[in-house]
Structure 1
């Protein structure tokens, strides 16, 4: 007899969000229908809390949040219930490599982005905003506001920050130079105690070995007394691979890399085709209704 799924965990960028970084009305309705069916929803993302809050407001129902690629877990009241930091000795080795490579990176904890340069961070945010913001005026001013006035960023000297006991959950590296990305990945491979992944060809995501999305979900399931075969996960990139392989039903987006699809139990439509909604209605709600007949 079919056993209904009890948890639905979704990635954000490239999955729940379209390329304009929006939750479509179709996906929004599907997520709300899922909640009405009594299925727990988990937003599972590499983003930090600061850039997720607006989307949680849109969903308009209480859900769990696993952010920073699995490092930080918040309950449905948005209270932190678990944080996994990178170990200080390991963090020092990683920062040493990144500083020598002269590459853009920022680090995160439960609340803040830590940056080396205000100018470089504004430039990076503007590059992202310009792809999704139609208004040129907003595309210019929004990055300045987010970095300087939103109380989400702190400029630090990373060596001093770590030496003085600063804690980090994850590090995000960006470069359009594929050779540089591959070179950094090769050097990071020699460091024990970290997980190295990516959410795109131009970035590297670094966190503690015990802080992947699968680890975050495992901690949450333990609290809720739910087994892994009772959850559905969906994602599009390599930082989603652990949770796709972990779930009872691990789903890849239609826009996923081929390797992600190979490890998935099922492939839904793309994020531009409301693939999350398609998954919810075809493999979660529909099957639950069949089981109840």
Structure 2
């Protein structure tokens, strides 16, 4: 563990507890890690706007040498807002994904770097929830009006039981598997990202920039979209509340997000450093 130079941390269900709070214990552990020379990288499905308050609380905001992996790996950006990497969905991708939503009767929206767009006048409750969570406004646009809007990812958002029922059969999505990666990122979110976009690949990009290797990375997460970075990192850590797939691929399982699991994992690294 002496080789760990970067700790990549998911946000929801990992860094934050179930009440969406950053606890004192986690903040103190991160402060200790930074004092020990370890860089903290937030790796999230959120845009930069959705983690700004967290960055301020951790004294990471507005810096050119601190980084955030946003949109599940679709964007790598400095905390000062300098975009280092970005991969967008095409307009045709969007049209195909929107069509699936219509056929399956799922609420659906598209995320641009600075706004959420929906073609559904009956805006879904979870679209409203997401917009509030990540501090982005919502705009109604018809599919035709979306042609020149940069789209980083799309999301199918609905009640868990309904969503799970609709995505249980992958056949409606299968014709896009060579272009799109589909991932369950929360009980009520099913995300569509450009093929090749993942938190793991984003961390690989960042490692190359920082002249590090995977052995220098510790990654902590709980959901399926964290799996790629759990596998990539020299030390992959699953939260106690992580889904089974993440736990099965992790080298370490820590406490859950309501018992400062991130702090426990960091403290273990620092004890052996």
TM-score by length of 2: 0.89
Shift in Å at residue 50 of structure 1? 2.3
Instruction: Provide the secondary structure at the position in 1 that maps to 2:69.
Output: strand
Conserved? CA contact 1:229–1:249, under 8 Å: yes
Partner of 2:234: 248
Shift in Å at residue 249 of structure 1? 0.5
Instruction: Provide the secondary structure at the position in 1 that maps to 2:155.
Output: strand
Task: Measure, in 2, the Cα distance between the counterparts of 1:219 and 1:38.
Answer: 20
Shift in Å at residue 118 of structure 1? 6.3
Partner of 1:187: 172
- Asked whether 1:168 is paired with 2:170, we answer no
Task: Measure, in 2, the Cα distance between the counterparts of 1:175 and 1:125.
Answer: 9
Task: Measure, in 1, the Cα distance between the counterparts of 2:208 and 2:149.
Answer: 29
Unaligned runs of at least 5 residues, structure 2 = none
Task: Measure, in 2, the Cα distance between the counterparts of 1:23 and 1:38.
Answer: 21
Task: Measure, in 1, the Cα distance between the counterparts of 2:270 and 2:208.
Answer: 24
Task: Measure, in 1, the Cα distance between the counterparts of 2:204 and 2:232.
Answer: 9
**Two-structure CA RMSD over aligned residues (Å):** 2.1
Task: Measure, in 2, the Cα distance between the counterparts of 1:102 and 1:256.
Answer: 29
Task: Measure, in 2, the Cα distance between the counterparts of 1:111 and 1:199.
Answer: 20
Partner of 2:199: 213
Conserved? CA contact 2:76–2:85, under 8 Å: yes
Could you say which structure has the larger radius of gyration? 1
Conserved? CA contact 1:7–1:232, under 8 Å: yes
Shift in Å at residue 90 of structure 1? 2.6
Partner of 1:95: 98
The 3 A distance-change label for structure 1 pair 76 and 201 is closer
Unaligned runs of at least 5 residues, structure 1 = 130-142, 289-293
Shift in Å at residue 188 of structure 1? 1.4
Instruction: Provide the secondary structure at the position in 1 that maps to 2:190.
Output: strand
Task: Measure, in 2, the Cα distance between the counterparts of 1:53 and 1:76.
Answer: 8
The 3 A distance-change label for structure 1 pair 220 and 118 is farther
Conserved? CA contact 2:126–2:188, under 8 Å: no
Instruction: Provide the secondary structure at the position in 1 that maps to 2:185.
Output: coil
Partner of 1:228: 214
